[in-house]
Chain A
């Protein structure tokens, strides 16, 4: 493998947030500086990611599985190496992280830090999360991937457990244990891969993804199935697929908004990324055999989580359940084995990060004003905060995949790409779009439309001469329920632009994704079910 001139780019991308976390962490006494430095590092990372994006050659993707490769030995005794590299799929995920982290920081700027905690700790943990996420997407060595997969639990555990809501300890431990256990099962399969490759290669076992992929055809299906299951359980918990999902609503509800965005927006995508990068190419026979099982879990998730989202009264739990429904679409696309469905799933990962991130952030802004997570504590909010209502509606419409928003393109690709091979599951999933409309619009109706309701809202609509006394608590709340501030507009504006830009012009991103999903389909060993027409 040749290392070209850009080879240290990914290493830099990994080290900048990692080292940045250690720079920010000690700034305990000056939270303002800590925030500014952290944001500066995140913006630097954004610039570096843009450089990476333009260094990646779409034209070369057909012949080079990974680009911008960095490769040094790590533990020679086990054949582990520090190998970084990206294909189109990993590249768009890196771009998503780089865009979301500064936005998350901006949205958390005015958050109240719990007693005994410091802003420096919070922002250092955000950078730490970013570093582990870059690592998990850029690793092309299976053992290195496993290390980052486990490592990313640590900063997220502290983010939820230290900075979260009232039940943060419970949620954090639940999240940690679910993930850790999944990780341990995966470790079994990682070691299994080493053993299997050791039996087949003269030079002994390897963790190199490319070497393992070349071997995959020679591994018997029964072995593949056990190895597949190890990865699958870890990813099914992480994604999460029903019935492994119950940790997410708790974690999503208790996490501080910024951490919630990264948790649901990016961290969970590691699982669906893992399906595409590890399960399918390394265990092609097992993937095809076990596809019906994943498809069943996917469509159950789409309908079941949507119905649960309808029934939620806690807005953060509501967003978490909508995400579980969306993950069903992503895994449906991955196990439907077509270029369109794969491309749709990858784009879905990006789009879901943007739209659910935006939904989380807007919900956070609402909660900051009304001091309640409960839908029943609000009503008629659009009358006093039209811009906030508009932002929620845009995020909600993107979440229900309205054409013109980014999510439509990905959901459409998943469904149209899944239909030829899996018509029955696709029909059920398509019915899910009705439920998506129901849960989004019903929340919008209860919170933003109708007559004013809830203490905070009522206090701020009450005009002079009403029963509201400005000296009471309700009266004081009046000044807090204001429309979006300039900072909040600055946080939301890039997301709105992305929603529309990727809705109408997804071409440049799809061009990056397409060659890599074609390669993945080739590795599975299946032809596209629909050949299309010759023009």
Chain B
């Protein structure tokens, strides 16, 4: 417990000026939108969606202005802060309501407001038949507000504000279809598993405060070198726990696939492109902490490796188009986690993959939404088939996203994912073999499950012809309206070109260097760069080929084949993650709660009542207790008082 701290000089960070001085508009605009839409109620039904879109587009414009202004400055002047007011002042603690504007936060601002705008626009069409459209836009605006606070805050408590704020938005939107019990359960599960992670984040903040006397990024990062290694490792692991909750990483991954109960634009924006990458942001933001703890970084990489494998394996087994994409997201974030765990050799690569993934995975989800729109909201791919001809725009944009995701040469994913695999493989010793090997294997699995998905959806015979949807309607597949296809086209362009553009001349890494440090190349390790690159390509091609042989060349049964081999069974059951949660936590918890209710009614209350009756000399008085028999209560209290005083004396004298 340190009462005095060496006042190491924290670097003086300049106050934001110009467009940067308006950075508060970034979160105030969508925040106001959410507030108006929530308060106005049905009156806003006619124009609510337009207000929702305009506020996010406005925030994007502000973000772009700040970005361009910052780009005009020399690299060492691109970090500034904007103090708004003192949020929580108490003694030596002074939590600032302030923003940090630097390359990392601006990158996220553009991603959130850019992809956010596209998905808002898409939702006008997607939600046009839903009576709850205004509520949907209110909640989506709330999400954008919280997400911007998360990435813009200049201290850990602001981060926590945004962190739980996006958790709330996610909870509301997963449970958007309120009458579905499965949606309500999935929403609650997401919030609870996130809260487990949040406990880690909160404890990390407490440890930092105890040891450094501050929660401000600039001050924490300037002094992190003074901490002893055990404390740094503890902080690194606790922060990682928070990151695992938010980003659906092992062991907290099982909420993310269930989150697909929400409307599909939500899956695209929150559960693919932005919110679930907050864990990556957290590790990257805290790079000064992770830089000084090699053990902490190792834990991060292990979580990443385990998760990228889990996601890829389970993704191969599902027939639900959104769940396959969800597990794909779990897996791809695993890649990002692996990257940021590599430290200075990987922070920028993690963010790079995060951005390209933001494009192609959002595009894939919007494409899936377009397909569902055409198929009466059916998500079972066994009911699809042959849709390419009916939905050409969806097919082409989805196809480009697919190619980007599996790392088809020169598309976005090719650059960003291969860079991570190469960096992981070039780690020295067993680490390079394990990490590189796992990442390459998962790349092959990714090619398999995505090829399977595309084949089952867009190719083969039209299996929906002789089917009816659960509500008895016939299928009339049709292309979606322009308000939906336009955002898909924009995202498809990003899926194709963003990777090349961002890696050209190390553009992104150089831009991020003021926040993340220079990107270091791992020179020689277990597996050389060229071997890793070729290996990834070969395995991906193999995965796609196997999918073609198994799915593309023979008809897909409408009924799911049963029984199946053990690995498929395990993958269909999420590798038993839910079963384990159920057996270890949910069921014992339920029993404990029930037992305690019984104990509290019959035990604690009954014990004091019973003691009183016993002291009163007649068990017959127990019944009179219920009518409020005075003396027995007096005895009750006496009994309780004697007990507590005995305990007090024990503590007093027993500890000497």
A residues adjacent to B (C-beta < 8 A): 169-170, 172-174, 177-178, 181-182, 185, 225, 229, 233, 236-237, 242-246, 289-290, 292-293, 304, 307-308, 310-312, 338-340, 343-344, 380, 382-383, 387, 390, 397, 402-404, 408-409, 412-413, 415-417, 419-421, 423, 426-427, 430-431, 433-434, 437-438, 441-442, 445, 448-452, 504-507, 510-511, 514, 518, 527-534
B5: which of A242, A419, A442, A531 is its contact (CB, 8 Å)?
Answer: A531
B185 cross-chain contacts in A, Cβ below 8 A: 445
Q: Are B92 and A532 in contact (CB under 8 A)?
A: yes
Give the CA-CA distance A418 to B18 in the complex, in Å.
41
Q: How far is the CB of B201 from chain A (nearest CB, A)?
A: 10
Q: Are A431 and B628 in contact (CB under 8 A)?
A: no
Flag whether B210 is at the interface (Cβ < 8 A).
yes
How does the 8 Å CB contact mask read for B517-534 relative to A, with 1 for contact and 0 for none?
000000000000000000
Residues of chain B from 37 to 95 with CB closer than 8 A to chain A in the complex: 38, 41, 85-94
Q: Which of B383-391, B458-466, B596-604 contacts A (4 or more CB under 8 A)?
A: B596-604
Q: How far is the CB of B41 from chain A (nearest CB, A)?
A: 8
Q: Are B644 and A404 in contact (CB under 8 A)?
A: no
Q: Are B214 and A413 in contact (CB under 8 A)?
A: no
**CB nearest to B168 among chain A residues:** A402
Q: Are A308 and B86 in contact (CB under 8 A)?
A: no
Flag whether B212 is at the interface (Cβ < 8 A).
yes
* Contacts A173-B630, A451-B179; A244 near B640 (Cβ below 8 A): yes
Q: Are A339 and B1 in contact (CB under 8 A)?
A: no
18 chain-A/chain-B pairs, Cβ below 8 angstroms: A174-B633, A182-B637, A290-B651, A293-B648, A308-B593, A339-B92, A340-B90, A340-B91, A403-B163, A404-B165, A417-B93, A419-B203, A419-B210, A434-B195, A449-B183, A452-B179, A529-B210, A531-B92
B207 cross-chain contacts in A, Cβ below 8 A: 419
Give the CA-CA distance A419 to B206 in the complex, in Å.
6
Q: Are B178 and A383 in contact (CB under 8 A)?
A: yes
Flag whether B627 is at the interface (Cβ < 8 A).
yes
Q: Are A532 and B178 in contact (CB under 8 A)?
A: no
**9 more CB-based (< 8 A) A-B contacts, given A311-B597, A402-B165:** A181-B633, A233-B644, A308-B600, A340-B91, A415-B202, A416-B205, A416-B206, A451-B179, A510-B89
Q: Are B88 and A413 in contact (CB under 8 A)?
A: yes
Flag whether B199 is at the interface (Cβ < 8 A).
yes
B88 cross-chain contacts in A, Cβ below 8 A: 409, 412-413, 506-507, 510
Interface of A is mostly: helix
A529 cross-chain contacts in B, Cβ below 8 A: 1, 3, 210
Q: Are B633 and A177 in contact (CB under 8 A)?
A: yes
Q: Are A174 and B628 in contact (CB under 8 A)?
A: yes
Give the CA-CA distance A198 to B625 in the complex, in Å.
43
**CB nearest to B633 among chain A residues:** A177
* Contacts A290-B652, A430-B203; A380 near B178 (Cβ below 8 A): yes
B415 cross-chain contacts in A, Cβ below 8 A: none
Q: Which residue, A174, A236, A387, A450, has most C-beta atoms of chain B within 10 A?
A: A450
* Contacts A233-B644, A531-B4; A246 near B161 (Cβ below 8 A): no
Q: How far is the CB of A473 from chain B (nearest CB, A)?
A: 25
Q: Are B203 and A177 in contact (CB under 8 A)?
A: no
B171 cross-chain contacts in A, Cβ below 8 A: 441
Q: How far is the CB of A391 from chain B (nearest CB, A)?
A: 12
B165 cross-chain contacts in A, Cβ below 8 A: 402-404
* Contacts A412-B157, A510-B88, A510-B90; A437 near B184 (Cβ below 8 A): no
Q: Are B93 and A532 in contact (CB under 8 A)?
A: yes
**CB nearest to B172 among chain A residues:** A393
Q: Are B184 and A450 in contact (CB under 8 A)?
A: yes
Q: Are B212 and A533 in contact (CB under 8 A)?
A: yes
Q: How far is the CB of B154 from chain A (nearest CB, A)?
A: 13
Q: Are A246 and B89 in contact (CB under 8 A)?
A: no
Flag whether B594 is at the interface (Cβ < 8 A).
yes
Give the CA-CA distance A307 to B599 in the complex, in Å.
12
A511: which of B89, B195, B633, B641 is its contact (CB, 8 Å)?
Answer: B89
Q: Are A531 and B213 in contact (CB under 8 A)?
A: yes
Q: How far is the CB of B607 from chain A (nearest CB, A)?
A: 9
B213 cross-chain contacts in A, Cβ below 8 A: 530-533
* Contacts A243-B640, A340-B93, A451-B179; A441 near B633 (Cβ below 8 A): no
Interface of B is mostly: helix
B212 cross-chain contacts in A, Cβ below 8 A: 533
A511 cross-chain contacts in B, Cβ below 8 A: 89
A343 cross-chain contacts in B, Cβ below 8 A: 90-91
Give the CA-CA distance A506 to B161 in the complex, in Å.
14
Flag whether B564 is at the interface (Cβ < 8 A).
no
A237 cross-chain contacts in B, Cβ below 8 A: 637
Give the CA-CA distance A185 to B626 in the complex, in Å.
25
B501 cross-chain contacts in A, Cβ below 8 A: none
What are the nearest 6 A-B pairs in CB distance?
A532-B92, A339-B91, A173-B628, A449-B184, A419-B206, A311-B597
Q: How far is the CB of B346 from chain A (nearest CB, A)?
A: 30
**CB nearest to B181 among chain A residues:** A450
B87: which of A242, A289, A445, A507 is its contact (CB, 8 Å)?
Answer: A507
Give the CA-CA distance A152 to B303 in the complex, in Å.
57
Q: How far is the CB of B179 from chain A (nearest CB, A)?
A: 6
Give the CA-CA distance A434 to B88 in the complex, in Å.
23
Give the CA-CA distance A272 to B163 in the complex, in Å.
31
Flag whether B608 is at the interface (Cβ < 8 A).
yes
**CB nearest to A390 among chain B residues:** B38
Give the CA-CA distance A404 to B636 in the complex, in Å.
43
Q: How far is the CB of B620 from chain A (nearest CB, A)?
A: 18
Q: Are B181 and A451 in contact (CB under 8 A)?
A: yes
Residues of chain B from 1 to 31 with CB closer than 8 A to chain A in the complex: 1-5, 7, 10
Flag whether B615 is at the interface (Cβ < 8 A).
no
Give the CA-CA distance A52 to B94 in the complex, in Å.
27
B196 cross-chain contacts in A, Cβ below 8 A: 434
A530: which of B3, B184, B645, B648 is its contact (CB, 8 Å)?
Answer: B3
B161 cross-chain contacts in A, Cβ below 8 A: 403-404, 408
B2 cross-chain contacts in A, Cβ below 8 A: 530-531
* Contacts A339-B91, A507-B86, A529-B1; A178 near B637 (Cβ below 8 A): yes
Give the CA-CA distance A408 to B205 in the complex, in Å.
14
Give the CA-CA distance A408 to B4 in the complex, in Å.
28
Q: Are B633 and A178 in contact (CB under 8 A)?
A: yes
A445: which of B86, B184, B651 is its contact (CB, 8 Å)?
Answer: B184
A293 cross-chain contacts in B, Cβ below 8 A: 647-648, 651
B192: which of A225, A415, A438 is its contact (CB, 8 Å)?
Answer: A438
A449 cross-chain contacts in B, Cβ below 8 A: 175, 178-179, 181, 183-184
Q: How far is the CB of A160 from chain B (nearest CB, A)?
A: 12
Q: Are A402 and B164 in contact (CB under 8 A)?
A: yes
Q: Are B651 and A292 in contact (CB under 8 A)?
A: yes
Flag whether B227 is at the interface (Cβ < 8 A).
no
Q: How far is the CB of A482 from chain B (nearest CB, A)?
A: 15
**CB nearest to A181 among chain B residues:** B637
Flag whether B319 is at the interface (Cβ < 8 A).
no
B644: which of A236, A339, A380, A431 is its contact (CB, 8 Å)?
Answer: A236
Q: Are B191 and A441 in contact (CB under 8 A)?
A: yes
Flag whether B219 is at the interface (Cβ < 8 A).
yes
